[in-house]
Structure 1
């Protein structure tokens, strides 16, 4: 609920600010929590506006050790009001905890998270000085595809169009909160700039995380993506749509389909049978729900439930041409790509103070689940009709399309990483030289490519103000993701393409686990994840250990360093980067270690792999 409250506290005219919450589970507890959040916000929002509070999230404000608002200089009257609001916040949290233990209001729930009717409720329509708060739960039935996050966003797009129809939309994930009340003003500076506004679709802010340690072992801060890639794209047509923390123009979702002279039948074909929604596409449309004490009438409520029904999109272009697209689980990437292809641009706004903060992943399981989903979704696009190498170059900047293509085909790194992790080691184990001799001038070419790649990455890390430890962490996580996430993500995309499985959307855990958080802050990997995900990684490490030790002994005995030096160095480099995994298998005894059963299974499979590989090299 801190996300909701912080959004209501944005420094923006309250009559123009409307906050929508999508509850895909259809829980009465969420609805109750929203009503309680609105009641608390009646004290919190005026308090923040009256005193210019710079941290709009109450949880962050009351738990912060730093007083960036200068509270100690504001006098006893302010401190008394601050204590009063803090007491109300504690009561608000206590009511939510009590309700959670009791299972909701009167122990009732709308229905199953995957099988429940639509529900829309406007909260606080009679309070002119407060933003409108709207609860939206779309209908979900087992017999109808719900299209994951993209489907939920499209429902919000439709429902909001007949309630408020604001021309600009901020989209936030539930684990993010507003960290600066002026983010809307910053975004509007771009959206209202007459030089760029006609083609500007969205203003993207970076995702920042409040729980990231200096030794970010899982690369949860996404430094490379947010600081390097997004910053570079800002010099072209703009950054890629990132799923959260962006202000987008509503008209960018509809494109040329909202012209005044367009055929009404074509609009119904695209947007469905709701006449009210089609009227909302016009420039002169005024929503019927206003801040004058009026809430939804029975007819209007029926219309919103129609728009939120699971069958509304049948025989329409929703998810195909009318907005958040369904062809990939990374709906943000694909939707932003098609917007750029239609001539829209975007802007990357990265102020020194994070405008939004959230929770980054702090355990290996969430990191691998998240990475596998991203890899699957990106490769979905790569092998679809929207492949950036085919669909993009004629519709957008060639450099922008290459950047999209690089990300779409990024999961294919698993091929090269698996090859470099197995083939040189097998040859080392069997005394077969794979690279030129150290004394050969051709060896310098291989050394230059390897060292220049590492040096370029190190330069980028240092350029963004990070340390050598960050460089090592990113190298390690890139290798881990390539071996696991990229492999499984690519396989998943291919199987969906040939019809062997249906699309799935595995969410990351939004609840902080104290034990996992403690290991993360200590810089120790938490290897509690599925055997299918962890085993390939452990097999590769054990194979490298065996090949390095046996191969090194053979090299020392034969004295052929000149021939085998490069393979010895490569295997040693992989082991250095894999030290946390070796530590988890051999040295650690805590709950987060590599389970002995996985170590044993992986050892057997690694020996089988090395044996079969050695036999294959003999013929």
Structure 2
């Protein structure tokens, strides 16, 4: 057993060969396309003459889309999949400790019952309990959350033994009782009786939290912007040895409006310090509060990589995919983020490792403390702060088994509160060179990028049974707000000295750097999409052709590039288990996001850069609206969205509707179909893709329709745009 590998990987050589062959053909077509563009502009005839402004805008769009296509090809160069053999791991007594970090920030948007289900699910990991410490970070400092955590501990003392005794796989109580697939497999009357009793206990637990939540609303919540640090070990200070329970710790860092708290990155760094003083496990599992453990063996799966002597010296983290229990079959909002976790991340895994993705990852604590892979931490107060207790934890061997200290006293917990204070990081390297980095609201992407630049590697493991399941956004409003935040964060990195193509090229392999650059430049899709949504249409109103005539051989070239791109994306979706319907929905929401989230995210990042706006973070709402969920499951768009997001989508839909009608009229009355066909087709294609917007404006009568005043306002904007476009 000692000589057998803990894991294996397989390179998809045939798929890679297909991708490379397609790339060669596609890039040849692109070069021919740009030759046509430039030569026809420099030596125009009556059929190819284009106004300079229109030519420049379209050429820039085609150049950017081609560059993005080239960057994206890096993901297809060496895709791999991995297999693990947890049965070959060392005995339990030789396994290292694992600290689990769970983050919540708002008990209204992140209801305590859901958070506690996540906590309980990871407390029940199939791992030596004395080696597991679960930390809940509560940025709101909520009395309700603290109370719920105490009740979660009480319920877990019943739930965890039940799961271990009967080998329950789904160890999130809510998920288990919601879809009890395992009932019939256990069989015995004893099990059925115990399960019934456990369900009663769970409903008691639910009722306690429900009553507490109602009382909290009536009483009023804590001030989430200003509160002292609060750290409590739940269930006693030295319980694990006797109860078979993992450690459970509540952490609420100090917050003050006068001191920046750096959002989730700041919370993670506080957790690193507090956990370093209490348990100091060499490996850390990071989870969002809605992302519960769906497979109790995930820690053992991760250890198959982290304990492999061949790769562990340079392995920083193991990334699992984010998967969701509430994603519908058609997934009209791309809530499942399939593109990233089914296509992009496996491709990056073959190049040096996936991007750190915010949640569902096991990370080596040491990697967040050192400046280079082979370096030791610089143990000084200028770097790590003034706490002697924390510095002592750094000097210990980070790779040994560290159970929770059994001699915790008030002085020790007081010291832990000091490292959780909002002023502790002043004049230190926290957020600059140590821990999770500040400067972007996508701290995961930023930190993972710098780890790879330091020489660390990562692996991506996508098991057939999801290791973690979360709650996806199921309405358009939350999708666009969340997307705006992500795009703003990515653009913040692009506008800093850490821009992947500038900072990454000397430090990363070329293809790995291209992958990071592609993800980082996603918000810039707003530029070519806006140009394509307006320039061909405005030219169509003036009878100006931007593309070759249908009878020209060059028209075949443009048609091939367009069809080749779409067909390749469709092929990727089908190969990863998707459907044509899913591909179409992904394409539609990408187009919608490009003119909303990507645009506003880019503007937001620029405003922060020049000092017009401070960084902000709004947690995604985890409270479901039944009507919106029903429409989502039916595949019907819900346009109960802020006007700032809705108006751009409606404007470009109305403009394309008008240009299509105008183009058809020109063909009927002038017979110029050969000249104008391409632009008429573009308008029609945009309308077909975005038919739900047309439906929302003209045919819907339910609450999810597009308000008439938004339609009228957009018509006024379109009229203005057409008038201005006449002078371009």
TM interval, short-chain normalised: over 0.9
Which of 590, 594, 604 lines up with 1:492 in the alignment?
Answer: 604
Give the whole-Å Cα distance in 2 for the aligned partners of 1:323 and 1:290.
Answer: 22
Which of 213, 228, 234 lines up with 1:117 in the alignment?
Answer: 228
Which residue of structure 1 lines up, in the alignment, with residue 548 of structure 2?
436
CA deviation string 1:205-225 (max 9, x = no partner): 000011011111001111111
Contact kept, 8 Å, 2:281 with 2:401, in 1: the verdict is no
Contact kept, 8 Å, 1:382 with 1:409, in 2: the verdict is yes
Give the whole-Å Cα distance in 2 for the aligned partners of 1:263 and 1:460.
Answer: 45
Which residue of structure 2 lines up, in the alignment, with residue 197 of structure 1?
312
Contact kept, 8 Å, 2:279 with 2:405, in 1: the verdict is no
CA deviation string 1:23-78 (max 9, x = no partner): 0000000000000000000000011011110101010111105x2x3545430111
Give the whole-Å Cα distance in 2 for the aligned partners of 1:361 and 1:258.
Answer: 37
Structure 1 window deviating more from structure 2 (436-445 vs 11-20): it is 436-445
CA deviation string 1:53-110 (max 9, x = no partner): 0101010111105x2x354543011111111111111100011111111118x9586x
Contact kept, 8 Å, 1:430 with 1:551, in 2: the verdict is no
Structure 1 window deviating more from structure 2 (604-613 vs 196-205): it is 604-613
Which residue of structure 1 lines up, in the alignment, with residue 161 of structure 2?
46
Give the whole-Å Cα distance in 2 for the aligned partners of 1:308 and 1:392.
Answer: 33
Residue 581 (structure 1) aligned with residue 693 (structure 2): yes
Which residue of structure 1 lines up, in the alignment, with residue 719 of structure 2?
607
Alignment of 1:67-82 (within 5 A): 67=181, 69=182, 71-82=184-195
Residue 315 (structure 1) aligned with residue 427 (structure 2): yes
Which of 249, 258, 273 lines up with 2:386 in the alignment?
Answer: 273
Residue 507 (structure 1) shift: 2.3
Which of 672, 679, 689 lines up with 1:567 in the alignment?
Answer: 679
Contact kept, 8 Å, 1:437 with 1:564, in 2: the verdict is yes
Which of 139, 142, 154 lines up with 1:27 in the alignment?
Answer: 142
Which residue of structure 2 lines up, in the alignment, with residue 151 of structure 1?
266
Which of 473, 478, 485 lines up with 2:590 in the alignment?
Answer: 478
How many residues align? The count is 608
1:442 aligned counterpart, secondary structure: helix
Residue 263 (structure 1) shift: 6.3
CA deviation string 1:421-474 (max 9, x = no partner): 001111112211111111111112211111111111111111112111111101
1:281 aligned counterpart, secondary structure: helix
2:562 aligned counterpart, secondary structure: helix
Contact kept, 8 Å, 1:162 with 1:280, in 2: the verdict is yes
Hey, which bits of structure 1, 4+ residues long, moved more than 2 A? 69-74, 106-109, 124-128, 256-264, 283-292
Which of 164, 187, 205 lines up with 1:92 in the alignment?
Answer: 205
Give the whole-Å Cα distance in 1 for the aligned partners of 2:423 and 2:146.
Answer: 23
Which residue of structure 2 lines up, in the alignment, with residue 240 of structure 1?
355
Structure 1 window deviating more from structure 2 (568-577 vs 552-561): it is 552-561
Residue 388 (structure 1) aligned with residue 500 (structure 2): yes
Under a length normalisation based on structure 2, what TM-score does the superposition of the two structures give? 0.81
Contact kept, 8 Å, 1:168 with 1:249, in 2: the verdict is yes
Contact kept, 8 Å, 1:258 with 1:282, in 2: the verdict is no
Residue 550 (structure 1) shift: 1.6
Contact kept, 8 Å, 1:205 with 1:246, in 2: the verdict is yes
Which residue of structure 2 lines up, in the alignment, with residue 529 of structure 1?
641
Give the whole-Å Cα distance in 2 for the aligned partners of 1:605 and 1:233.
Answer: 42
User: Runs of 5+ in structure 2 lacking a partner?
Assistant: 1-115
Residue 220 (structure 1) aligned with residue 342 (structure 2): no
1:355/1:432 CA distance change after superposition, 3 Å:
same
Structure 1 window deviating more from structure 2 (13-22 vs 596-605): it is 596-605
Give the whole-Å Cα distance in 2 for the aligned partners of 1:56 and 1:164.
Answer: 24
1:35 aligned counterpart, secondary structure: helix
Alignment of 1:392-411 (within 5 A): 392-411=504-523
Contact kept, 8 Å, 2:183 with 2:192, in 1: the verdict is no
Contact kept, 8 Å, 2:314 with 2:373, in 1: the verdict is no
Cα RMSD (Å): 1.8
Which of 257, 261, 282 lines up with 1:142 in the alignment?
Answer: 257
Residue 457 (structure 1) aligned with residue 457 (structure 2): no
Which residue of structure 1 lines up, in the alignment, with residue 534 of structure 2?
422
Alignment of 1:324-343 (within 5 A): 324-343=436-455
Under a length normalisation based on structure 1, what TM-score does the superposition of the two structures give? 0.95
Residue 289 (structure 1) shift: 8.1
Which residue of structure 2 lines up, in the alignment, with residue 501 of structure 1?
613
2:169 aligned counterpart, secondary structure: coil
Which residue of structure 2 lines up, in the alignment, with residue 172 of structure 1?
287
CA deviation string 1:150-198 (max 9, x = no partner): 1111111110000110111000001110000000000001100111111
User: Runs of 5+ in structure 1 lacking a partner?
Assistant: none
Residue 123 (structure 1) shift: 0.8
Which residue of structure 1 lines up, in the alignment, with residue 346 of structure 2?
231
Which of 170, 173, 190 lines up with 1:55 in the alignment?
Answer: 170
Which residue of structure 2 lines up, in the alignment, with residue 345 of structure 1?
457
Contact kept, 8 Å, 2:253 with 2:270, in 1: the verdict is yes
Give the whole-Å Cα distance in 1 for the aligned partners of 2:289 and 2:276.
Answer: 21
Give the whole-Å Cα distance in 1 for the aligned partners of 2:641 and 2:535.
Answer: 27
Alignment of 1:359-398 (within 5 A): 359-398=471-510
Which residue of structure 2 lines up, in the alignment, with residue 183 of structure 1?
298
1:263/1:336 CA distance change after superposition, 3 Å:
closer
